[in-house]
């Protein structure tokens, strides 16, 4: 055998040695089978808000060492949070992972999606990505908090793609009750996740731009790992009406108002509604005045950025309305939810400094009450009617349509996207559960549907969805300039004070003898009217003297013991005599 034949794996006759080649191939295949199977790529999602509630939406996506946030909103307090101005998400998880956060994407400019941003940016300075109008509204928020020059704001538009670490996100235009709303197609090595944001399917939108259903369908054809979809109207059958129907109702009602002054209350963020009011007012030869800081800000930003078409000379300052007859005026105001400090409520109760209500007013409340606000709205309507005012409210005419999709639109979205996993978001438990049942009707497997709560963190891969350990989450209360300094103890005290009032026991004691030098004085606030209950106050004063004397006679002068004993004894006496439990606050001074 030649050396050349040996190198080429041939035998002495020059033929290839097939046996030797077979052995070599078998060894290679054995090595291949010993390799471990490739791990499935996973992406995780943490919910810091917007689950089991409507408001303070905030979602965190994580892949490897990269994270980004979708929305950062607020919620408005209910009656269980006396004195609290707003509620924002707990940012502990974001602060802990600050070095991993690549940015925040905002889907649209409503308060429940942008209202918490300024508070977040005070803790973690990260870039903000949003559409033109949303950026304009965010700038106003940041300016209030002196943050405008310190934050990177990046303007995006539908069909734009941005890269945040391992994520590539495409903006998809959707219809909502504010322009420039987008849904998101979130791409990473684990797959594609669609988050709709707040949306509805409006085939005749006021701004002429219909939701980009073809783009959602394209992603559905390619394959979508998960869909996170708006659940607000999941209980409502059918379709949400087009915003244009409201414009038609305004035409009818403005004619019915005849020579009366028209007052329209609407959500401060609904530019489409404001535009339609201005359009009808112009056609009827009326001037328009705007009341309410948030509404004035929206009109200014919308006009500057080209989202509101305001004919020259139609807007007038509220201080000039006295110069025009009633039949030439339309006033757009806040207060459609009966908020106690809103302009419409102040008008109804004769507390507004610039606008007085009269029987020659025609009031249109262009909104439906948010659950829980029905009584406040009813109170405002009743007060307006006491003034002899014509009031159009709720479903008397089509003066309001929702910005959220109803059942058939939600099912259409699922049918287009065809997700493997479905996660209903943005709603209370009843909304999430109903949306989940719609998913099952659309042939999504029940085990592939996740109904979460605030603080939940889940992991998604091509073959499973699983729950991870919860992350820090909850509510932070903002009261005036204080952020997070109002907790459960303070709120319990406020509730206690609001129910039964307070009794303050003030006494000055001689430290040497233990005798009472001054007092005890009994001060009552919110409990009983002292002048009409002198006997009760005298009984409390005598009891306080007796308790102090007994403790000092025992030669045990522990301040906390004296205060505790006073609190217990007076509280017991007050309950026996009145069946009420006011807060007891002893104040003892030793000289």
> Structure tokens of 193?
């996740």
Active site residue 230: yes
Choose among 307, 306, 247, 314: nearest CA to 271: 307
| Direct distance between the N- and C-terminal alpha carbons of the chain, in angstroms, rounded to an integer | 120
Choose among 120, 114, 112, 117: nearest CA to 55: 112
Residue 439 in contact with residue 414, Cβ under 8 Å? yes
Measured CA to CA, the distance from residue 46 to residue 113 in angstroms comes to 16
Residue 55 in contact with residue 76, Cβ under 8 Å? yes
- Going along 441-566, which residue ranges are E strands? 457-461, 464-468, 475-479, 482-483, 502-509, 516-525
Q: Which one is catalytic: 230, 272, 361, 435?
A: 230
DSSP letter assigned to residue 42: -
Active site residue 279: no
What's the angle, vertex CA 484, arms to CA 478 and CA 487, rounded to 5? Answer: 100
Cis bond upstream, residue 520 (ω within 30): yes
φ and ψ of 129, to 5 deg: -115, 125
Choose among 332, 333, 315, 334: nearest CA to 324: 315
Choose among 148, 553, 222: nearest CA to 417: 222
- Alpha-helix residue ranges (DSSP H) falling in 223-312: 244-257, 271-283, 293-305
CA 420 to chain centre: 28
Choose among 392, 325, 398: nearest CA to 360: 325
Could you give the count of Cα atoms lying within 13 Å of 101 in the half-sphere of its Cβ? 23
φ and ψ of 413, to 5 deg: -60, -45
For the chain, state the CA radius of gyration.
33
Collapsing DSSP to helix, strand or coil, 220 comes out as helix
Residue 108 in contact with residue 115, Cβ under 8 Å? no
Please, what is the angle between helix 271-283 and helix 244-257, to 10°?
A: 40
Q: Which one is catalytic: 352, 404, 431, 435?
A: 404
Beta strands 329-333 and 287-291 are: parallel
DSSP letter assigned to residue 25: H
- Going along 237-376, which residue ranges are E strands? 261-265, 287-291, 315-316, 329-333, 361-365
Active site residues: 230, 404
């Amino acid at each position: 055998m030649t050396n050349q034949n040996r190198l080429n794996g041939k035998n002495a006759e020059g033929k290839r040695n097939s046996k030797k080649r077979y052995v070599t191939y078998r060894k290679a295949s054995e090595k291949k089978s010993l390799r471990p199977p490739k791990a499935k790529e996973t992406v995780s999602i943490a919910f810091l808000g917007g689950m089991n509630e409507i408001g303070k939406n905030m979602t965190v996506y994580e892949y490897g060492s990269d994270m980004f946030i979708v929305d950062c909103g607020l919620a408005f307090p209910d009656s269980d949070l006396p004195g609290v101005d707003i509620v924002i998400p707990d940012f502990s998880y974001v602060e802990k992972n600050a070095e991993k956060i690549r940015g925040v994407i905002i889907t649209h400019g409503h308060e429940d999606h942008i209202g918490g941003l300024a508070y977040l940016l005070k803790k973690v300075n990260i870039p903000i990505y949003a559409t033109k109008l949303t950026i304009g509204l965010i700038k106003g928020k940041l300016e209030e908090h002196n943050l405008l020059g310190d934050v990177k704001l990046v303007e995006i538009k539908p069909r734009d793609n941005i890269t945040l670490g391992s994520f590539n996100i495409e903006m998809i235009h959707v219809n909502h009750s504010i322009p420039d709303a987008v849904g998101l197609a979130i791409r990473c090595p684990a797959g594609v996740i669609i988050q709709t944001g707040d949306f509805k399917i409006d085939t005749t939108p006021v701004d002429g731009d219909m939701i980009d259903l073809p783009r959602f369908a394209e992603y559905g054809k390619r394959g979508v790992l998960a869909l996170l979809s708006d659940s607000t109207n999941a209980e409502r059958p059918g379709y949400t009406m087009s915003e244009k129907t409201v414009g038609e109702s305004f035409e009818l009602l403005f004619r019915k108002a005849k020579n009366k002054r028209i007052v329209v209350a609407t959500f401060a963020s609904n530019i489409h509604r404001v535009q339609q009011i201005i359009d009808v007012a112009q056609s009827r030869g009326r001037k328009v005045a705007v009341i309410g800081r948030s509404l004035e800000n929206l009109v200014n930003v919308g006009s500057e950025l080209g989202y509101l078409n305001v004919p020259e000379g139609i807007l007038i300052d509220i201080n000039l309305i006295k110069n025009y007859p009633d039949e030439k005026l339309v006033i757009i105001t806040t207060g459609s939810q009966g908020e106690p400090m809103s302009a419409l409520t102040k008008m109804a109760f004769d507390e507004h400094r610039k606008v007085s209500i009269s029987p020659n007013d025609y009031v249109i409340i262009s909104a439906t009450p948010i659950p829980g606000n029905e009584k406040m709205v009813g109170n405002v309507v009743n007060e307006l009617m006491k003034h002899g005012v014509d009031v159009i409210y709720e479903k008397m005419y089509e003066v309001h349509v929702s910005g959220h999709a109803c059942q058939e639109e939600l099912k259409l979205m699922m049918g287009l996207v065809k997700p493997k996993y479905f996660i209903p978001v943005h709603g209370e438990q009843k909304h999430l559960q109903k949306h989940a049942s719609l998913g099952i009707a659309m042939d999504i497997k029940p085990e592939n549907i996740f109904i979460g709560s605030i603080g939940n963190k889940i992991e998604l891969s091509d073959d499973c969805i699983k729950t991870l350990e919860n992350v820090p989450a909850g509510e932070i209360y903002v009261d005036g300039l204080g952020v997070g300094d109002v907790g459960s103890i303070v709120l319990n005290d406020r509730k206690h004070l609001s129910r039964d009032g307070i009794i303050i026991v003030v006494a000055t004691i001689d430290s040497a003898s233990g005798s009472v030098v001054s007092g005890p004085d009994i001060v009552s606030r919110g409990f009983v009217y002292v002048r009409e209950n002198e006997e009760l106050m005298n009984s409390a004063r005598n009891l306080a003297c007796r308790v102090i004397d007994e403790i000092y006679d025992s030669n045990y002068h522990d301040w906390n013991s004296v205060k505790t004993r006073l609190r217990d004894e007076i509280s017991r006496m007050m309950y026996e005599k009145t069946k009420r439990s006011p807060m007891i606050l002893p104040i003892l001074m030793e000289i």
